[in-house]
């Protein structure tokens, strides 16, 4: 059984610009359950997969320049359609559980929001923050492969194409 666990909508989601200042630092509160709108764009999210019987957990960190709701739908689709099973480390893990008839649940939360690459900042805080978390908080990303750290920013190309 899969269940989306999201907190109630916050009154006013914080704006990106306020968050730019604290990039690369990780205040403890950012790791608290999300108090952000799941339609807010450019977020880093985390999934925790728990096996029903023995309760061991695996964790996965992802990012999206779009809103979380859309990314979540794509993840769910990859758990249903075998042709997409290799799309993420998370879907690979889910398919392994399914094939071994292991019951599981997945809890999702949004960790933080950051500006993706833009021509004025010339850096992608979204990708930087994800890499930072995978390095510094491995317990939040047990399923993420360390080779994801060398993957290049796909938002940069998009931004450059837009400006030409
Ligand atoms: Zn990026």
pLDDT tens column, 19-49? 433 333 333 333 334 445 677 889 999 999 9
Residue 97 CA to ligand 1 center (angstroms) comes to: 30
CB 89 within 8 A of CB 19: no
**Confidence class of residue 141 from pLDDT cuts 50, 70 and 90?**
very high
Window from 17-26, 118-127, 146-155 with minimum mean pLDDT: 17-26
Residue 117 CA to ligand 1 center (angstroms) comes to: 6
Residue 154 CA to ligand 1 center (angstroms) comes to: 5
Give the global pTM.
0.74
Residue 4 CA to ligand 1 center (angstroms) comes to: 26
Residue 96 CA to ligand 1 center (angstroms) comes to: 29
Residue 132 CA to ligand 1 center (angstroms) comes to: 13
Query: Averaged over 95-99, what is the pLDDT?
Result: 96
CB 44 within 8 A of CB 112: yes
- Statement: residue 6 has pLDDT above 70: no
C-alpha span between 109 and 1 (Å, rounded): 17
pLDDT at 163: 67
- 3-class DSSP state for residue 98? helix
C-alpha span between 29 and 17 (Å, rounded): 18
Window from 80-84, 128-132, 148-152 with minimum mean pLDDT: 148-152
Residue 71 CA to ligand 1 center (angstroms) comes to: 15
pLDDT at 152: 85
**Confidence class of residue 146 from pLDDT cuts 50, 70 and 90?**
confident
Residues, CB-to-ion distance under 5 Å, ligand 1:
124, 127, 153, 155
pLDDT at 164: 61
Residue 56 CA to ligand 1 center (angstroms) comes to: 31
C-alpha span between 62 and 66 (Å, rounded): 12
Q: Which phi and psi angles does 15 have, rounded to 5°?
A: -85, 150
Residue 57 CA to ligand 1 center (angstroms) comes to: 28
**Confidence class of residue 9 from pLDDT cuts 50, 70 and 90?**
very low
Q: Which phi and psi angles does 16 have, rounded to 5°?
A: -50, -45
CB 110 within 8 A of CB 36: yes
**Confidence class of residue 92 from pLDDT cuts 50, 70 and 90?**
very high
- Statement: residue 11 has pLDDT above 60: no
Residue 123 CA to ligand 1 center (angstroms) comes to: 8
Among 4-8, 18-22, 138-142, the range with the most confident prediction by mean pLDDT is 138-142
What radius of gyration do the chain's Cα atoms show?
A: 16
Q: Which helix (H) or strand (E) holds 107?
A: strand 104-113
Residue 33 CA to ligand 1 center (angstroms) comes to: 24
């Amino acid at each position: 059984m899969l269940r989306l666990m999201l907190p109630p909508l916050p009154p006013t989601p914080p704006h990106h610009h306020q968050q730019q200042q604290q990039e690369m630092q990780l205040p403890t509160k950012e790791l608290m359950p999300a108090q952000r709108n799941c339609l807010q764009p450019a977020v880093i999210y985390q999934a925790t997969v728990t096996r029903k019987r023995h309760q061991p957990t695996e964790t996965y960190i992802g990012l999206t320049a779009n809103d979380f709701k859309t990314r979540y739908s794509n993840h769910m689709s990859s758990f249903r359609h075998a042709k997409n099973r290799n799309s993420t480390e998370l879907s690979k893990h889910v398919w392994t559980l399914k094939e071994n008839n292991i019951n599981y649940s997945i809890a999702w939360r949004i960790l933080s929001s950051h500006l993706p690459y833009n021509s004025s900042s010339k850096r992608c805080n979204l990708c930087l923050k994800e890499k930072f978390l995978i390095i510094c908080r491995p317990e939040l990303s047990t399923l993420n492969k360390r080779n994801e750290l060398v993957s290049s920013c796909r938002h940069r190309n998009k931004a450059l194409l837009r400006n030409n």
